[in-house]
Amino acid sequence: MNKKTIQELGEFGLIKHLTDNIPLVNKSTVKGVGDDCAVLNYESEKDILVTTDLLLEGVHFDLTYVPLKHLGYKAAMVNLSDVYAMGGMPKQITISLGLSKRFTVEDLDEFYAGIRLACNSHEVDVVGGDTTSSMTGLTISITCIGEVEKGKAVYRSGAKPTDIICVSGNLGAAYMGLQLLEREKAVFYQQLEENKGKETPEMAEPDFAGREYLLERQLKPEARRDIILKLKELGIQPTSMMDISDGLSSELLHICEDSKCGCRIYEEHIPLDYETASQAEEFNMNVTTCALNGGEDYELLFTVPMSDKEKIEDMEDVKMIGYITSADDGKVLITRDGAQFDLKAQGWNHIQ
Which residue ranges make up each domain of the chain? Answer: 6-149, 164-177+214-342
Please tell me the predicted confidence (pLDDT) of residue 261.
98
Given this model, what pLDDT does residue 18 score? 62
Which residues, other chains included, contact 84 with Cβ-Cβ below 8 Å and sequence gap of 6+?
Answer: 90, 223, 224, 225, 227, 228, 243, 300
| Per-residue model confidence (pLDDT) at position 45 | 82
Which pLDDT belongs to residue 6?
59
Pairing of strands 164-168, 300-304: antiparallel
Q: What is the pLDDT of residues 131-156, one digit of tens each?
A: 888 888 899 999 999 999 999 999 99
- SS3 at position 143: strand
Nearest of 62, 81, 71 to residue 110 by alpha carbon: 71
Residue 251 has pLDDT above 90, yes or no: yes
Centroid of chain to Cα 327 = 29
- Find, among 1, 280, 25, 19, the residue nearest to 129 by Cα: 19
pLDDT (tens digit per residue) in 173-215: 999 999 999 999 998 888 887 777 776 667 777 878 889 999 9
Domains 6-149 and 164-177+214-342 share a fold: no
**Is residue 239 pLDDT above 90, yes or no?**
yes
pLDDT at 351 over 50: no
**pLDDT, greater one: 270 or 136:** 270
More confident residue, 200 or 77: 77
pLDDT for res 192: 80
pLDDT band at 19 (very low <50, low <70, confident <90, very high): low
Q: What is the pLDDT of residues 111-126, one digit of tens each?
A: 999 999 999 999 999 9
The pLDDT value recorded for residue 25 is 80
Say if pTM beats, i.e. exceeds, 0.75.
yes
When pLDDT is cut at 50, 70 and 90, the band that residue 16 belongs to is low
Of 1.10.10.60, 3.30.1330.10, 3.50.50.100, 3.90.580.10, the CATH number of 6-149 is 3.30.1330.10
Does domain 164-177+214-342 fall under CATH 3.90.650.10? My reply is yes
